[in-house]
A and B are shown apart, each in its own frame.
Chain A
Amino acid sequence: MDMTQYIPVLLTKYNYWVYITLMMIGLWAMIAKNNLIKKIIGMSIFQTAIILFYVSIGAKYGATIPILSHGHGGAHEAAVRAVDYINPLPHVLMLTAIVVSVATLGVALALSIRIHRRYRTLEEDEILSQLREQ
């Protein structure tokens, strides 16, 4: 098998692969860990990896941040070329996604505090055994 044909693929797409790997780490933590806080941390990792995935879509080789440097002075003279600035849309979308993930984190922690109040533990197997005893 000629593995060298995969090297260009790896070099140009490794960003997507890294973020998918991060996503899977977060997903595994959410499913497999026993402690509720570790599951919540896994959820955070999962959502952050999706955010990074989106942001990497907007990158452009050799372009700068999407803020017009000559603002109100020279903007009308120099033509703005789209190829000089990175794509702003994924950044906008991910501002929303970051806020949504923080909000979900807040609600998850509030629920965890209520669970801890009731069961005095945050380990899922101990909670399930307490539920079964009832």
Chain B
Amino acid sequence: MKLLSLALVILVGGLFIAATADFPHWGDPASPASRHVSPRYIEKTMEETSVPNIVTAVLADYRGYDTMFETAVVFTAGVACFLLLRRRDPRPEPKRVYRHVATGVIVEMKQEPAKEPSPSVFARIDDDWVPHDLIIMNVCRLLIPFIQLFGLYVIAHGHHSPGGGFQGGVILGASIILLALSWDLRTAMNRMAETATGLMSAVGVFIYAGVGALCLAMGANFLDYSSLGPLMFVDPIHARSLGIFFVELGVGLAVMATMVLIYKNLASEGHLDQGL
């Protein structure tokens, strides 16, 4: 079976390579792809959208419809993971393991306590606990706000430097996942509740589609940001720039929430109590 698939794969690869015979050379500035559609993007972006980052302008304005569906794909993945994995039944025989905050002693409670101990005195930890690591926990705790600040910067500065909604959203999501990895999933769950995450994921895509529907309501075609000019008291060119900014915000929100949602469901196998 392995040999058969190897032969098949080599054959297919050989056919693909043979077909590259009449491709333009790598880096050829006169190739069809460089001469046909893209010169207008490069030359006219500044005067049509006033956004210096051409990739952002093409992504969110010229081909903004694709990007909306791309955000919807991210949202779909989050909903799919939630649908497939989330279970509300408790784990069989959960162990109750606590750490005494003041001394660091680990205790396990054999029976259900009458009253849940106060979290500041006894912190609940995962039942496959690892020793309390001072360096990792505190370094990450100090870094995470800066990571989030950087993520916001990447979203906001997407007009002028490489960045944008997707990149910034992933950085923001990664900051929460870092919290879950360096502390534990319970801490990350307390910081970002499940309902809020799910709502943010949908609201992010809704912002994008909503901006497009607003353009429709203003009489222009879907996602034609220039029609939003009167609403924001700017001329159509700057309306495009602002429209790109708003949709990038929506994208960043949706991507952050979905990354966290997928991580939580995968790491805890749907129970959302403890995990990696």
Contacts and interface: CB of A to CB of B under 8 A. Distances in A.
B27 interface: yes
B162 A67 contact: yes
B235 to A, nearest CB: 15
Contacts of A61: 27-29
Nearest to B266: A109
B23 A92 contact: no
Counting from the closest, the 4 A-B pairs by CB-CB distance are A103-B77, A82-B39, A24-B13, A12-B25
Nearest to B59: A92
Contacts of B45: 68
A31 B43 contact: no
Given A89-B38, A110-B81, A12 B26 contact: yes
Interface of B: 1-2, 5-6, 8-10, 12-13, 16-17, 20-21, 23, 25-29, 31, 33-34, 37-39, 41-43, 45-47, 50, 52-55, 58-59, 63, 66-67, 70-71, 73-74, 76-78, 80-81, 84-85, 160-162, 166, 262, 265-266, 269-270
Given A16-B23, A27-B12, A88 B269 contact: no
A111 to B, nearest CB: 7
Contacts of B67: 95-96
A49 to B, nearest CB: 11
Contact of B73 (A20, A90, A99): A99
A24 B37 contact: no
Given A95-B70, A99-B73, A107-B81, A90 B33 contact: yes
Given A59-B27, A92-B55, A16 B84 contact: no
Interface of A: 9, 12-17, 20-21, 23-24, 27-28, 31-32, 56-63, 65-69, 71-72, 75-76, 80-83, 85, 87-93, 95-96, 99-100, 102-104, 106-107, 109-111, 113-114, 117
7 contacts: A63-B29, A66-B55, A76-B47, A82-B42, A88-B38, A88-B58, A106-B81
A21 B28 CA distance: 22
Given A27-B12, A71-B160, A75-B52, A110 B25 contact: no
B26 A16 contact: yes
Nearest to B39: A82
A101 to B, nearest CB: 10
Given A59-B27, A96-B66, A89 B84 contact: no
A62 B249 CA distance: 34
A89 B59 CA distance: 9
Contacts of A68: 45-46, 52-54
A6 B224 CA distance: 49
Nearest to A9: B21
A89 B76 contact: no
A42 B41 CA distance: 35
Contact of A16 (B20, B31, B42): B20
A34 to B, nearest CB: 9
B161 A67 contact: yes
Contacts of B27: 59-61
